[in-house]
Amino acid sequence: MKTSTTPATRTFDYIIVGGGAAGCVVASRLSEDPGVRVCLLEAGGPDTSVLIHAPMGFAVSAPLKVHNWGYETVPQPGFKGRRGYQPRGKVMGGSTSINAMVYTRGHRADYDHWASLGNPGWSYDEVLPLFKRAEHNHCFGETTYRGTGGPLQVSYLRSPSPINEVFLQACEQTGLPRTEDYNGAQQLGCGPTQAMQAGGERCSASKAYITPQRGRSNLTVITQAHTRRVLMDGKRATGVEYEQGGQVHQLHAAREVVLSAGAFGSPQLLMLSGIGPQEQLQANGIATVHTLPGVGQNLQDHVTTVLIQRSARKEATLGISLNGLATVVKAIFEWRNKRTGWVTSNVAESQGFLKTDPSADTPDIQLALCTGIVDDHNRKTHLGHGYTLHVTLCRPKSRGSVTLQSAQATDAPLIDPAFFQHPDDMATLVKGTQIGLDILQAKPFDAYRGEMLYPVERNNPAQIEAFLRDHCDTEYHPCGTCKMGPHSDPMAVVDADLRVHGVQGLRVVYASIMPTLTGGNTTAPTVMIGEKAADLIRSGH
């Protein structure tokens, strides 16, 4: 592998934009063939920082602008005009280098639904082998559902807090049973977090798929390279233009350009290249190459709330106190010497999937128990110890958009997730929050429970709704902005082979192609999309 500021060649077979979850997979898989030249462009830097490899480092990078684009949304009417925060990774590995490492695939019904929308090849039975191929599972080994031998390492946490067992017992007493594997036969239930980690270190997409390929001479990785647009010859993509250190460069793609620049970056790049809704292009003075009204539309994101409980049990929860500081210093030394201890925590140490409507086919709420006080993405700090329950809506019905602020690639796009635009989203999250409060009040927590940071009454739905509007925000899973669908769907941006409709030589490979958001965290599905894209691209040539 060549890491380069100025590549020796300006022509590659494939150019992939964005070194995140999907981009790393596609670059790695395509460059398995020594006969093709692959170039991966990433706007951020290399993933050398200890804040990436030490799992707890994300508690610093996610709230701050460290390896992070640190976007904000436009004011959200559903949040009483408050702006949401949208951290996204800006480094090799993309958000997989700053995320909480929770490995969840979603529900089998999510993929069957994609297939039913006119996307052949995307049903659960068809994508399951790709999930298995991608992972090396340390929790269960090879099973009907789980794989071994793949690049992405998935394990249980090495040093989980004792409060996880308390949470799991509280779930059981509240009617949510344990499930052996929420990525296996049954999602419904609770269980310890399966984390993208190995040996007490983060396993990002870059670490899994790119770092081991350092020996490949046909793979060039260019970091600090901000792609400005796709070069078009008529309706054919022929390369990309990027900026690095104030200099503008062009690269040419003999076969294809692949956009894997995230749910915000990919639609932004399409529009900057003249592909998108007519009015967006005209308003920003961009010449139209191809009108595609769906580009940037259909934005979906998981909205979540945090129920924060103070606790005097310093040995089981992270916090800011003399004791907490001493624990952190000790933990850093433990991690340096043994790769165990608090530093290996992903904070969100247990998961649960529940139904607010028992007659429903699929869980509609995801729970995550965090072993510390996590308020406003850890941007608000509080003295003392505690624990936090994330209550997340699995399948929001609200639909937002990503539009252009200007024709400058360096200007952030306008992000509007339209949280709570659909009334069902609020109704379901109120019910989920009530169940979350029941769990926190269950007997096993008696020895741990202090005051709630933001007290809310379980049987007062109006008060819960006001609380949600004040405190909810993203669970970090924007998707859908380059929706996959058949040609007959006017809002589809890519077809089932992930080729941009009406344009040649250009694919989008990322969570943005999801027509609907999966019921769970989005890294595992995005890696699967990368694996599938690699097969589609290889079989097409």
Ligand X SMILES: Cc1cc2nc3c(=O)[nH]c(=O)nc-3n(C[C@H](O)[C@H](O)[C@H](O)COP(=O)(O)OP(=O)(O)OC[C@H]3O[C@@H](n4cnc5c(N)ncnc54)[C@H](O)[C@@H]3O)c2cc1C
Binding ligand X by CB under 6 A: which of 99, 187, 238, 344? 99
With both helix axes pointing from N to C terminus, report the angle between 523-540 and 21-30 in degrees, rounded to the nearest 10: 30
Q: How far apart are CA 444 and CA 345, in angstroms?
A: 22
Q: How far apart are CA 524 and CA 370, in angstroms?
A: 20
Residue 522 in the binding site for ligand X (CB under 6 A): yes
Indicate left, alpha or beta for 60 from its phi (over 0: left) and psi (-120 to 50: alpha). Answer: alpha
Binding part of the chain for ligand X, among 11-19, 47-55, 119-127, 294-302 by CB under 6 A, reads 11-19
Tell which positions 224-263 bind ligand X, by CB under 6 A.
226-227, 261-262
The residue behind tokens 């202090």 is: 450
Q: Do residues 417 and 83 lie in contact, with contact meaning Cβ atoms separated by under 8 Å?
A: no
For residue 521, count CB atoms less than 10 angstroms from its CB and return exposed for 0-12, middle for 13-18, buried for 19 or more: buried
Residue 95 or residue 371: which is nearer to ligand X going by CB?
95
The alpha carbon of residue 457 and the mean position of all alpha carbons in its chain are separated, in whole angstroms, by 32
Residue 512 in the binding site for ligand X (CB under 6 A): no
The tokens for 266 are 């990919």
Binding ligand X by CB under 6 A: which of 90, 302, 507, 532? 90
Any catalytic annotation for residue 53? Answer: no
Q: Do residues 259 and 17 lie in contact, with contact meaning Cβ atoms separated by under 8 Å?
A: yes
Q: At its nearest, how many Å lie between ligand X and the CB of residue 516? A: 15
Binding ligand X by CB under 6 A: which of 15, 30, 40, 43? 43
Binding ligand X by CB under 6 A: which of 25, 307, 498, 511? 511
Residue 157 in the binding site for ligand X (CB under 6 A): no
Residue 7 in the binding site for ligand X (CB under 6 A): no
The tokens for 353 are 């999937």
Q: Which helix (H) or strand (E) holds 331?
A: helix 322-338
Binding ligand X by CB under 6 A: which of 7, 12, 14, 19? 19
Pairing status of strand 2-3 against strand 219-222: parallel
What's at 180, amino acid-wise? Answer: E
Binding ligand X by CB under 6 A: which of 18, 160, 277, 352? 18
Q: How far apart are CA 23 and CA 531, in angstroms?
A: 10
Q: At its nearest, how many Å lie between ligand X and the CB of residue 330? A: 25
Catalytic residue selected from 136, 477, 501, 541: 477
Residue 30 has φ and ψ, to the nearest 5°, of -65, -35
The residue behind tokens 């200890």 is: 50
Residue 482 in the binding site for ligand X (CB under 6 A): no
Residue 194 or residue 280: which is nearer to ligand X going by CB?
194
Q: Do residues 521 and 103 lie in contact, with contact meaning Cβ atoms separated by under 8 Å?
A: yes
Residue 449 or residue 475: which is nearer to ligand X going by CB?
475
Residue 104 or residue 398: which is nearer to ligand X going by CB?
104
Residue 355 in the binding site for ligand X (CB under 6 A): no
Residue 523 in the binding site for ligand X (CB under 6 A): yes
The tokens for 437 are 């409060």
Rounded to a whole number, what is the distance in angstroms from the first to the last CA of the chain? 23
Binding ligand X by CB under 6 A: which of 55, 89, 341, 417? 89
Q: Do residues 304 and 475 lie in contact, with contact meaning Cβ atoms separated by under 8 Å?
A: yes
Q: At its nearest, how many Å lie between ligand X and the CB of residue 341? A: 20
Residue 22 in the binding site for ligand X (CB under 6 A): yes
Q: At its nearest, how many Å lie between ligand X and the CB of residue 340? A: 20
Could you give the 3-state DSSP secondary structure of residue 539? Answer: helix
Residue 295 in the binding site for ligand X (CB under 6 A): no
Binding ligand X by CB under 6 A: which of 1, 25, 41, 435? 41
Residue 319 in the binding site for ligand X (CB under 6 A): no
Q: How far apart are CA 200 and CA 399, in angstroms?
A: 38
Residue 442 or residue 534: which is nearer to ligand X going by CB?
534
Binding ligand X by CB under 6 A: which of 510, 514, 518, 531? 510
Binding ligand X by CB under 6 A: which of 31, 96, 187, 223? 96
Indicate left, alpha or beta for 526 from its phi (over 0: left) and psi (-120 to 50: alpha). Answer: alpha
Residue 476 in the binding site for ligand X (CB under 6 A): yes
Residue 104 or residue 434: which is nearer to ligand X going by CB?
104
Residue 226 or residue 339: which is nearer to ligand X going by CB?
226
Q: How far apart are CA 411 and CA 341, in angstroms?
A: 41
Q: How far apart are CA 168 and CA 177, in angstroms?
A: 8
Residue 472 in the binding site for ligand X (CB under 6 A): no
Binding ligand X by CB under 6 A: which of 526, 529, 532, 533? 526
Catalytic center residues: 477
Give residues in contact with ligand X (CB under 6 A). 17-22, 41-44, 62, 87-90, 94-96, 98-102, 226-227, 261-262, 265, 269, 476-477, 510-511, 521-524, 526
